[in-house]
Amino acid sequence: MKKNILILGPSRAGKTTLTKKLNEALNYSIVCFDSIIYAFEQSFPQLGICSGDGAENTAANLADFLIHYFRELSYRSDNKNRTKFAAEGGYFDFDKIMHAMNEYDMVKDFIFVGLVYNNKTPDELFEDIRKNDTEDEWSYSCDDELLRKCADIFINDSKSMYDKFQKHGFMIYDVSNNREQILNNIVNDIKAKLGTL
């Protein structure tokens, strides 16, 4: 039976790339937290849901919406034969959302994937980002000083998320090295879990 997939991780860990691979391999719809956050930021700035600074506040403010949004996508009676979705993002109030998903008995209908890069230094992450930057990446226009600060934050986010992934039973993948191959392996692992290999 197909399940929805939730992919979380720090910035630049490969979440978007993985959802695209799942879309191609399994025809999953894509739900991107960044797009949802941008829509809230532009439409309802008073809600305090915004990208950039204030990630914890954004995650907390977004939590109730995501709980109800996942329920709506998953359980509406007219959606029973609907294509499943792969949702990806980094702004996530783990305790609140996972508690609600357990309470509503949603966990059984999801595969949870956590991406980390705990075997990278901030300097290595900075170099990787610079090497792989494309014009459509937000980091493309960052100066080196700002991007180095961001790399420090991302490494700390990765370590913090790793602990939360363990606590909540996520399938955890370290993408510090050979990221593309690991993302392909994840697709195969998910196919195996779904019985489609």
Delineate the domains of the chain, giving CATH numbers in brackets. 4-192 (3.40.50.300)
User: Residue 79: what pLDDT?
Assistant: 54
Mean pLDDT for the stretch of residues 40-54 = 86
Mean pLDDT for the stretch of residues 4-22 = 95
Where residue 50 falls among pLDDT bands split at 50, 70, 90?
A: confident
Asked whether the predicted pLDDT for residue 197 surpasses 90, the reply is no
Residues in the chain: 197
Where residue 62 falls among pLDDT bands split at 50, 70, 90?
A: very high
Q: Give which of 82, 60, 64 is closest to 4, Cα–Cα.
A: 82
Output the pTM of the full model. 0.93
DSSP state of 2: -
pLDDT tens sequence across 139-172:
889 999 999 999 999 999 999 999 999 999 999 9
Percent pLDDT > 70 in the chain is 95
Q: In which element (H, E) is residue 7 found? A: strand 4-8
